[in-house]
Amino acid sequence: MINLFAIVLPIIKSIVFAIVVLVVGLLIIKWLTKIVEEIIDKKGLDATLKPFIKSIVSAVLKAMLIVAVIGILGIETTSFVAIFGAAGLAVGLAFQGSLSNFAGGVLILVTKPFKVGDYIESNGYSGTVEAVRILYTDLVTVDNKVIRIPNGNLSNASLVNYSEKDTRRVDFQFSAAYEADYNKVIRVLKEIVTSHPKTLKEPEPFVRMSEHGDSAIVYTVRVWANSADYWTVHFDVIEKVKQRFDEEGLSIPYPQMDVHVKE
């Protein structure tokens, strides 16, 4: 019994010590990553780098902690490293997607096709970039859902950045009856877009007749605005056109619908 106790006691001590080191190490890693985050903020680095660097630092420190805990448990770290290296190829093949996503994250940070806060569209999704992490980029949709797109896909796919330029063109098409005075229609549309406080005077707004439709004349309106004001201008102009057309007696024809009568 004494010999058994003498054998078990060192093992228990090693396990307890390993658990203590693991818990304390995780707390220290959390503290260090917070310090790294504060340093990034003080240095004024690109906000896109913040979650990526934080994730890298956390992953490296946790890997070192695991090796230290394994050493405390009495496992030869050199043997462990050798085994880990031998298994590296198999692990790499199993996690090709993850390695591709990591490389994609690095490529995104180097080429900077977008930054945190930009509104982008890619891979069939659109939203505001919240963070670029080691493997994924987080997008927040307009209805506050979070979409995580793998960095590998994002770095290799076509991407639309709606926020990169300071200004955007807002395009409209409005219909008016054939009986309406087209000069009056064009005048009213020009007054609406030029009087809006958030539309730009340069480039000059474009208002022209663009199509002879089946039941109405179509007018194309193009006006420039600051990117941040795009949707404000979009909805304001649509509402204002309806209001002014009613005031000016300009009718907006209803779309014709095919009615099938069963015999």
Task: Give pLDDT tens digits for 233-247.
Answer: 999 999 999 999 999
Examine the domain organization and report whether 53 and 68 are in the same domain.
yes
- The domain boundary, picked from 41, 60, 94, lies at 94
- pLDDT tens digits, one per residue of 95-149: 556 778 888 888 888 888 998 889 999 988 999 999 888 888 999 998 999 999 9
Examine the domain organization and report whether 15 and 80 are in the same domain.
yes
Select the more confidently predicted residue: 250 or 37: 250
Note the pLDDT of residue 17.
Answer: 78
Angstrom distance (rounded) from CA 98 to CA 79: 26
H or E segment to which residue 99 belongs? helix 96-111
Note the pLDDT of residue 240.
Answer: 96
Say if residues 182 and 132 touch (Cβ distance below 8 Å). no
Domain span at residue 154?
A: 104-161
Q: Judge whether residue 263 has pLDDT over 70.
A: no
Of all residues in the chain, what percent are helix, strand and coil, respectively (each to 5)? 55, 20, 25
- pLDDT tens digits, one per residue of 56-78: 777 778 877 777 777 777 666 56
| Overall number of domains in the chain | 3
Residue 258 lies in a domain: no
Select the more confidently predicted residue: 49 or 20: 20
- The domain boundary, picked from 94, 126, 142, lies at 94
pTM of the model: 0.60
Note the pLDDT of residue 75.
Answer: 67
Examine the domain organization and report whether 82 and 67 are in the same domain.
yes
Angstrom distance (rounded) from CA 98 to CA 24: 29
Output the average pLDDT for the chain: 82
Note the pLDDT of residue 243.
Answer: 94
Examine the domain organization and report whether 19 and 67 are in the same domain.
yes
Select the more confidently predicted residue: 206 or 261: 206
Examine the domain organization and report whether 149 and 171 are in the same domain.
no
